[in-house]
């Protein structure tokens, strides 16, 4: 029994030993595996760190190489710059040396000239001593006297030149003073010749013409190109403009508006179009009546219309149509007395100033415009010669042309026929308008307020607000340079956009 127990105990111990040993073996294997895993992880991490270190080293190397290359490039540029500067300095030194050489050479030349001058004087003194028995001192005195005489001549020439310049400047100053005086005196005279008076039914109509916030009077002035004056005079307004045709249209428009009673911008534009069309028809009829009365048919319709329009044109205060009729009838009588063609002289006299009907709109010489018109409509060569000859562009080539030239001078010289002051004023105002209309994108320009203000309308689609400001300064600058005028001239550039639609 005990043996069995002992044997069992031995077997149990053996089994326990085997189990313990297996357990330890397994445990060691597990630890070994963990250690291997950690070692592998450490190895992988070390390899990763090594790769990252290599990448950083490579990037740092590239960066350093780039910096070095950039620095090298900068140094190369500096080197080239220094080389160029050095070359420029060398060139400057060469130029300075050349300049110094030139100066030295010029000094030598001057010295040579001075020596030659002295030799010439000495020779002259010696010659005079030998020829005229002059002593050295007498020869010097003679030469000095000659030099003094020559100097007096030079001084006299200088004085004469300055006197001439002073005379010219004095004449300019005198002309300027006269121009200022006549221009200022022109105010009263221009008021008589350049103003239309319109009677109103009541003073209430003044307010209606002005309109709410002045919109009616602004529309009238912009559209008609005149200056409308509303003052304290009861039942009266004034229409002012140097252009007789525009002033006549404006007067008629305002009279019709007062008669109609509806005064607003839309109605003003409507009546203006109607009156303008009526005036065109009226001027044609007036020209037609003149041609019929004088028995000068046929004549081109355009020339007939322009003859009628000359009623609204003045030259030196003299009505152009009245002057034209005077010249035509005087030329007819003179041509008849000299055995010429009466009808041809009458026709040439009637058309000699036809260009004046367009000068206010087109600008330029009325002679050139008249010649172009008559050539366009195949007028007689004598008519064209009379137009050119009456202002000296050609010599008269016939009795009829000579008669027109004489008749033109007689009509102009008649006492009271012309007024120079008014013409200078109208010429100045026309010049101001022409300066404005010569600019690009300007549609209309009107001088108002006795020529002290000009209103310029521009194409709003082609010009911005900023460009309009620049245009006003440009026009003002050109007026300052080209036109003589007293006081100031205000330049208003107006840029307006209108949108119109119809409800149907």
Spatial CA neighbour of 429 closest among 186, 249, 232: 186
Res 180: pLDDT: 45
Residue 113 within a domain: yes
Q: Mean pLDDT across the stretch 83-108?
A: 76
Residue 293 within a domain: no
List the CATH number of the domain containing 244.
Answer: 3.30.1370.10
For residues 262 and 314, state if they share a domain: no
Res 176: pLDDT: 53
DSSP-assigned letter for residue 462: T
Task: Summarize pLDDT for 216-244 with one digit per residue, the tens.
Answer: 888 888 888 788 888 777 888 888 877 77
Q: How is the beta sheet containing 195-199 ordered, strand by strand?
A: 195-199, 236-240, 227-229
What is the overall mean pLDDT for the chain?
A: 76
Task: Summarize pLDDT for 17-69 with one digit per residue, the tens.
Answer: 666 666 666 666 777 777 777 777 887 887 888 888 888 888 888 888 888 88
> HSE on the CB side for 161, CA within 13 Å?
6
Measure the CA dihedral 142/147/152/156, to 10°: 140
Q: What is the rounded CA–CA span in Å between residue 462 and residue 458?
A: 8
For residues 88 and 209, state if they share a domain: no
Boundary residue ending a domain (418, 438, 471): 418
For residues 263 and 303, state if they share a domain: no
Residue 150 within a domain: no
For residues 441 and 341, state if they share a domain: no
For residues 217 and 266, state if they share a domain: yes
For residues 5 and 117, state if they share a domain: yes
For residues 3 and 95, state if they share a domain: yes
Res 235: pLDDT: 82
Residue 119 within a domain: yes
List the CATH number of the domain containing 428.
Answer: 3.30.300.20
Residue 324 within a domain: yes
For residues 201 and 305, state if they share a domain: no
Q: Mean pLDDT across the stretch 175-191?
A: 43
Residue 284 within a domain: no
Residue 94 within a domain: yes
Sheet strands (E) in 151-244: 195-199, 227-229, 236-240
Residues whose CB falls within 8 Å of the CB of residue 285, separated by 6 or more in sequence, listed in order: 308
Task: Summarize pLDDT for 376-387 with one digit per residue, the tens.
Answer: 888 889 888 988
Q: What does the H/E/C string look like for 347-383?
A: HHHHHCCCCHHHHHHHCCCHHHHHHHHHHHCCCCHHH
Count the domains in the chain.
Answer: 4
Length of the chain: 504
Q: What is the rounded CA–CA span in Å between residue 156 and residue 330?
A: 55
Boundary residue ending a domain (82, 104, 134): 134
Res 177: pLDDT: 40
Residue 214 within a domain: yes
- pTM, rounded to two decimals: 0.44
For residues 272 and 233, state if they share a domain: yes
For residues 207 and 323, state if they share a domain: no
Res 450: pLDDT: 64
Write out the residue range of the structural domain in which residue 2 sits. Answer: 1-134
Q: What is the rounded CA–CA span in Å between residue 391 and residue 389?
A: 5
Q: What is the rounded CA–CA span in Å between residue 26 and residue 491?
A: 112
- Judging by DSSP bridges, how do beta strands 442-448 and 314-315 pair with one another? unpaired
List the CATH number of the domain containing 333.
Answer: 1.10.3210.10
Q: Are 354 and 307 in contact (CB under 8 A)?
A: yes
> Is it the case that residue 467 has pLDDT exceeding 50?
yes
For residues 114 and 20, state if they share a domain: yes
For residues 479 and 383, state if they share a domain: no
């Amino acid at each position: 029994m005990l043996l069995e127990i002992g044997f069992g105990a031995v077997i149990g111990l053996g089994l326990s030993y085997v189990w313990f040993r297996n357990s330890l073996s397994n445990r060691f294997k597990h630890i070994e595996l963990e250690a291997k895993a950690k070692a592998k992880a450490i190895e992988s991490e070390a390899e990763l760190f090594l790769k990252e270190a290599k990448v950083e080293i490579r990037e740092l190397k590239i960066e350093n190489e780039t910096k070095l290359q950039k620095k090298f490039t900068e140094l190369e540029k500096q080197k080239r710059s220094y080389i160029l500067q050095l070359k420029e300095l060398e060139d400057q030194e060469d130029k300075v040396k050349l300049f110094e050489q030139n100066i030295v050479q010029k000094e030598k030349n001057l010295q040579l000239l001075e020596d030659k001058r002295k030799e010439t004087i000495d020779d002259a003194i010696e010659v005079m001593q030998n020829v005229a028995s002059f002593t050295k001192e007498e020869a010097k005195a003679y030469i000095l006297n000659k030099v003094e005489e020559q100097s007096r001549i030079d001084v006299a020439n200088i004085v004469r030149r300055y006197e001439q310049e002073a005379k010219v400047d004095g004449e300019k100053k005198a002309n300027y003073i006269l121009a200022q005086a006549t221009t200022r005196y022109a105010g009263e005279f221009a008021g008589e010749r350049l103003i239309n008076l319109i009677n109103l039914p009541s003073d209430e109509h003044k307010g209606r013409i002005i309109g709410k916030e002045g919109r009616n009077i602004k529309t009238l002035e912009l559209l008609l190109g005149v200056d409308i004056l509303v003052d304290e005079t009861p039942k009266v307004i004034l229409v002012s403009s140097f252009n007789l045709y525009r002033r006549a249209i404006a007067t008629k428009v305002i009279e019709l508006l007062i008669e109609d009673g509806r005064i607003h911008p839309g109605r003003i534009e409507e009546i203006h179009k109607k009156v303008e069309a009526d005036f065109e028809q009226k001027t044609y009829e007036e020209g037609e009546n003149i041609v019929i009365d004088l028995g000068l048919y046929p004549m081109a319709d355009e020339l007939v219309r322009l003859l009628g329009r000359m009623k609204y044109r003045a030259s030196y205060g003299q009505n152009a149509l009245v002057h034209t009729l005077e010249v035509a009838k005087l030329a007819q009588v003179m041509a008849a007395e000299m055995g010429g063609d009466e009808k041809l002289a009458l026709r040439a006299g009637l058309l000699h100033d036809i260009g004046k009907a367009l000068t206010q709109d087109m600008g330029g010489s009325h002679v050139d415009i008249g010649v172009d018109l008559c050539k366009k409509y195949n007028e007689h060569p004598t008519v064209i010669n009379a137009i050119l000859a009456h202002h000296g562009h050609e010599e008269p080539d016939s009795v009829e042309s000579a008669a027109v030239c004489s008749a033109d001078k007689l009509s102009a010289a008649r006492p009271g026929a012309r007024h120079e002051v008014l013409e200078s004023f109208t010429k100045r105002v026309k010049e101001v308008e022409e300066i404005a209309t010569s600019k690009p994108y300007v549609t209309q320009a009107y001088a108002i307020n006795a020529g002290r203000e000009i209103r310029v309308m521009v194409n709003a689609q082609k010009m911005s607000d900023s460009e309009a400001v620049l245009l006003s300064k440009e026009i003002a600058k050109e007026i300052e340079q080209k036109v003589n005028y007293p006081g100031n001239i205000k330049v208003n550039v107006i840029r307006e956009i209108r949108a119109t639609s119809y409800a149907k």
